[in-house]
Chain A
Amino acid sequence: MLVDALFLQMGYNATLVTLGAGLLGFAAGISGTFLFLRNRALLSDAISHATLPGVALAFLLMVALGGDGRSLPGLLAGSAVSALLGLLCVNALVRHTRLNEDAAIGAVLSVFFGFGVVLLTVIQTLPQGRQAGLESFLLGSTAAMLWADALIIAGGGAAVVVLALLFRRPFLLVAFDAAYARARGLPVARLDLLMMGLVMAITVVGLKIVGLILVVALLIVPPVTARLWTDVAARVVWLSGIFGASAAYVGAAISATAPDLPTGPIIVLVSFVVFVVSLLLAPSRGVLAAWLRYRRFQKRIHIRQGLLALAQGHPIYERLTLRLLVAAGWARGDGVATDDGMGYAARALRDEARWTALRTDNRFEAAAAMYDGVRDIDTVLTSDQIAEIDRRIAETPA
């Protein structure tokens, strides 16, 4: 069943939805990256909530003009206008008052959404409004997606991808160092507006599939996931697009396999699973990698301290230390050093003595800063320098 869905064998509507979602996920992942790297991820939440009054007003306007009111291009155009208005309100509040951006975002999203709800209740009282189904824009609805709707999503998504990739260098520069970008003569305010414009386009296009409450997930989760895997900005952009596309594609396919699996939430949950797996497994930034790093360091400390204890004939009380030494073949179970162990212990002691001497010598200040209790001194100094240290140790009376 799921395999059929993944290979687009679930019928016309499911195929349209799955392909459309994949494309939308790709475009959202790419344009969301710039927003995330600019530390303004939640601005997308304000933009998406601000679409609601536009959808409702467009419906009312189309009905007033004698139309059906449910034409998707009209509704999307309305949502784009009010999203833009919301965006400009956030910008105006941040620029002309002392409110911070988070307060401006929260104010705009709640007020626009509240006004949208007022308009929805107005629509419900109209004779044409009963079947308007505008509530489906809250959570998305893919059941009745048409070829024309899919074309809008595909066209909008493709345009966003092209623009985002064309402007990716200035976007990244602004995201990492806005002051430097301004000094280089880049129009930072306009670039920011374009960045938000792309996010707005994604939101509008995504209303049909994931709905306005959850569309922010497509813009935020893939970049956050991609960021875990790499430190190179250009790769974050592409990886984010790939994560977004695959989560949306797989999510839409899963939702096609049963009637009570709503597309939007499933896509969001699939992206979240990808994020959690990445958080656990990503190299260097992942939790597992960090834990392994910690364990390795802990092991080195224990072995080092154990060897020092062996060399000085101290008993070893710490069980982990003893276990590690036994495993290495340097000590017996009762804490007595093997011949091998004596050799390594003597080396560790000599290393420690060299470090002690080094840390009292101003000439080796830079090297002394690298002392962490486990590092071998010959990874820091040349053999000439070590010989010099040894001479000093020999000169000092014990």
Chain B
Amino acid sequence: MSGFEFVALSLPPMVIGVLAAIACALPGNFLVLRRQALIGDAISHVVLPGIVVAFLLTGMVSTWPMMIGAGGAAIVSVLLIEAIRRLARIEAGAAMGVVFTAMFAGGVLLLEQTDTSSVHLDVEHALYGNLESLIWLDAAGWGSLVDPVALAGLPPELLRMAVVACVIVAFLLVFWRGLKISTFDEGFARSVGVPVRLIGGLLVVLSALAAVAAFDAVGSIIVIAMFICPPAAARLMTDRLEIQVAWSVGFATLSAVAGYVLAGYGPLWIGFENAVSAAGMIATVSGLVLAVAAIFGPHRKGAQLPR
């Protein structure tokens, strides 16, 4: 394949996939350690009603209203889960199950009631995303990477995903100590004056941000897979948080690149004509990585986190 084709058709989606995977995997480390892994699952389900409501209010499929709608829905769902957990006095998992199914069902119903035949808005899109379509038409070859005119034509998702990834990295750097202490020993963190609730809240908000930005580019499946699989696999590799985060970034990158390549070129190698879903393949590869870590990971044994 020529450099032109690769730079124009494969590089942007691959980079977006890697950025999305890293943006989700970074907060995912803490969600897994805090036993909140399924928050990502709940958030990615309620993205659908969020974008449908945004579409109904604005009447168009454009990025910002949809992102705001999805973000709003994510925050509403987190608050509802917390409210139901406390009012009904039930475990968090059941409260999540109640909230995200109801909100997802509401989203599907609204979608059915709305005339969306003229726009590209459906359940499948929210689930799988359309990574393959994020191509860079202005690219003429590797040289375009230093050509400002061509760079201006990059898919906007790329810049957005990069900004979100930077915000998340910045959050982790600023709050690293507090985040680390409050994740492993909340009582101790509170006693030494760490703002435990603020940090916990920010973590959920940033996870929602990562989920919302990533769903637009790559769909909800990757979001859930990347929140959980790379951090879970990394946790089986080491006992040190810093190293675990590094492993998770490596696994996320590996899954995104290998998944994209396998989806785009894998079928051609074995004689099929059409590519398969990149989002699905990235999730699959991350699962294989986790499976390998679960069988060979040096720190796979040990005590589970206490409730």
Contacts and interface: CB of A to CB of B under 8 A. Distances in A.
A98 B304 contact: yes
Given A41-B93, A220-B97, A115 B287 contact: yes
Given A98-B301, A113-B221, A117-B277, A103 B106 contact: no
11 contacts: A45-B97, A97-B294, A98-B236, A103-B231, A113-B283, A115-B284, A117-B127, A117-B221, A118-B277, A139-B123, A220-B98
Given A106-B224, A111-B225, A268 B105 contact: yes
Interface in A71-128: 92-94, 96-100, 102-107, 109-118, 120-122, 125
Interface stretch (A256-264, A328-336, A342-350, A376-384): A256-264
A227 B91 CA distance: 12
B221 A96 contact: no
Contacts of B300: 96-98
B108 A262 contact: yes
A125 B273 contact: yes
B41 interface: yes
A41 B94 contact: yes
A41 B99 CA distance: 13
A93 B305 CA distance: 14
B152 interface: no
B18 interface: no
A227 to B, nearest CB: 7
Contacts of A40: 93
B272 A100 contact: no
Contact of A265 (B36, B88, B95, B106): B106
Given A261-B109, A264-B108, 19 more contacts: A40-B93, A42-B96, A97-B236, A100-B304, A100-B305, A102-B37, A102-B38, A104-B232, A114-B287, A120-B277, A121-B275, A135-B124, A138-B123, A221-B97, A265-B104, A265-B106, A265-B108, A265-B109, A279-B87
A106 B32 CA distance: 10
A217 interface: yes
Given A221-B101, A272-B102, A110 B109 contact: no
Interface residues of A, number: 62
Interface in B264-307: 267, 272-277, 279-284, 286-287, 290, 294, 297, 299-305
Interface in A131-149: 135, 138-139
Given A114-B281, A217-B105, A261 B112 contact: yes
3 tightest Cβ-Cβ pairs between the two chains A and B: A114-B283, A111-B287, A117-B280
A219 B236 CA distance: 32
A47 to B, nearest CB: 12
A61 interface: no
B263 interface: yes
A99 to B, nearest CB: 5
B236 A42 contact: no
Contacts of A96: 294, 300-301
B105 to A, nearest CB: 4
Nearest to A115: B284
Contact of B280 (A100, A115, A219, A265): A115
B30 interface: no
B90 interface: yes
B109 A114 contact: no
A323 interface: no
A227 B282 CA distance: 40
Q: Which residue among B101, B235, B263, B294 has the maximum number of chain A CB atoms within 10 Å of its CB?
A: B101
A205 interface: no
Interface string B10-53: 00000000000000000000001001111011000100000000
Interface string B186-230: 000000000000000000000000000000000001101101110
Contacts of B94: 36, 39, 41-42, 220, 223-224
Contacts of B240: none
Contacts of A111: 225, 229, 283-284, 286-287, 290
A113 B221 CA distance: 7
A10 interface: no
A114 B102 contact: no
A175 interface: no
A269 interface: yes
Contacts of A220: 94, 97-98, 101
Contact of A224 (B98, B280, B283, B305): B98
Contacts of B35: 100, 102
Nearest to B266: A118
Contacts of B88: 224, 227-228, 279, 285
A273 B278 CA distance: 38
A41 B88 CA distance: 15
Contacts of A239: none
Contacts of B280: 113-118, 120-121
Contacts of B224: 106, 109-110, 113
Contacts of A227: 88, 90
Interface string B95-127: 111100110111011001100000000011001
A110 B95 CA distance: 20
